[in-house]
Amino acid sequence: MGLKEDVQNTLGELALDFLECQGDLSVTVPKDKIVDALTKLRDDLGFDFLSDVFGVDNSAFYEKLAKAKAKKKKGEEDKKEEEPQGPPPPRFEVIYLLLSLETNRRLAVKVKVPEDDLVVDSVTSLWRAADWPEREVFDMFGIKFKGHHNLKRLLMWDEFPAHPLRKDYPLEGQGEERIMEYNDND
């Protein structure tokens, strides 16, 4: 596709991986180079509109893949080579949806965030539209954004103890309640 070649040429080494699905293209870039990558895409390729920023918790996805692989392996017991167990894949990913206003092309830029290093550079210096979406990713997943001017919880109340959209948080919650003390004598 023309878009894939353009992105490959613009990003060069920064483009780690591509994923195409039903006409949508997404490219993975390293976590610490996200601001550079997005700046290149904005200035050289014309992706000047940020549609959305959000996070995904891939732990259940990888578990399912691992189970499917294990099942397949069981069925092929005559294979003698053992694949070495690599490090577990990074649990979270943060996805940036870009749009080019002139050519109306869309691109998704992904960043993989491992569980032991939950910090990503903030892109609010490039687009102010990333302000609240990054706060929401912090609220829902716990990923911090370096350089964000006001990283507080957005949708849940400030003292909420957990991060709801993670896969290990139950749907019906853990019984948290918001207790507010009003001081009427002030």
Partner 1 sequence: MEVRRPTIEDWDNPGDIVTINIGPSHPAMHGTLRVIAQTDGETIVSAEPEIGYLHRGVEKLGEHLTYHQFIPLTDRLNYCSAITNNVSYEMAVEKLMGIKIPEKAEVIRMIMMELARIADHIVCIGILGVDLGAFTPFFYLFIQREEIYEIFEWYNGARLTNTFGRIGGVEADLPEDFEERWKKLVPNLRKAIDETDKLLTHNRIWMDRTIGVTPFFPEDALNWGFTGPCLRACGVKRDLRKDEPYCFYDQVDFEIPVGKHGDVFDRYIVRMIEMEESIKIIDQAIKIYKEFPPDAPLMAKVPKIIKPPVGEVYHAIEAPNGELGFWVKSDGSDKPYRIKIRPPCYMVYQAFPELVQGEMIADLIACLSSLNIIAGELDR
Partner 2 sequence: MAFQAYGGEGWLLTKLEQLINWGRKRSPWPLPYGTACCGIEMMAALASGYDLARFGAERPSFSPRQADVLIQAGTITKKMVPVFKRIYDQMAEPKWVISMGACACSGGVFRTYSTLQGIDLVVPVDVYVPGCPPRPEGLIYALLKLIEKIEKDHPLRKKAAEIGIGG
Count residues binding partner 2 (CB under 8 A). 15
Of 171, 183, 185, 186, the one binding partner 2 by CB under 8 A? 171
Query: Which residue is listed with tokens 């370096």?
Result: 146
CB of 178: closest distance to partner 2 in angstroms? Answer: 5
Which of positions 155-174 make contact with partner 1 (CB under 8 A)? 155-157, 164-165, 171
The pattern of x and - marking residues 144 through 163 that bind partner 2 according to CB under 8 A reads ------------xx------
Backbone angles phi, psi at 3, to 5 degrees: -65, -40
Q: Is 173 in the site for partner 2 (CB under 8 A)?
A: yes
In single-letter form, the type of residue at position 123 comes to V
**Residue 82 vs 177, nearer CB to partner 2:** 177
The angle at the Cα of 35, spanning 99 to 45, to the nearest 5 degrees, equals 40
> Is there binding between residue 168 and partner 2 (CB under 8 A)?
no
Where is 29: in which H helix or E strand? Answer: strand 24-29
Backbone angles phi, psi at 71, to 5 degrees: -65, -40
Residue type, 5: E
Half-sphere exposure of 124 (CA within 13 A, CB side): 15
Q: What do you get for the CA distance between the two ends of the chain, in Å? A: 66
Q: Is 170 in the site for partner 2 (CB under 8 A)?
A: yes
| Residue where the block lists tokens 């997404």 | 26
Shortest CB 97 distance to partner 1, Å:
6
Please give the residue ranges that form the binding site for partner 2 (CB under 8 A): 156-157, 164, 169-174, 176-180, 182
Please give the residue ranges that form the binding site for partner 1 (CB under 8 A): 19, 21-24, 26, 48-52, 54, 56-57, 60-61, 64, 95, 97, 101, 104, 106, 108, 127-129, 131-133, 153-157, 164-165, 171
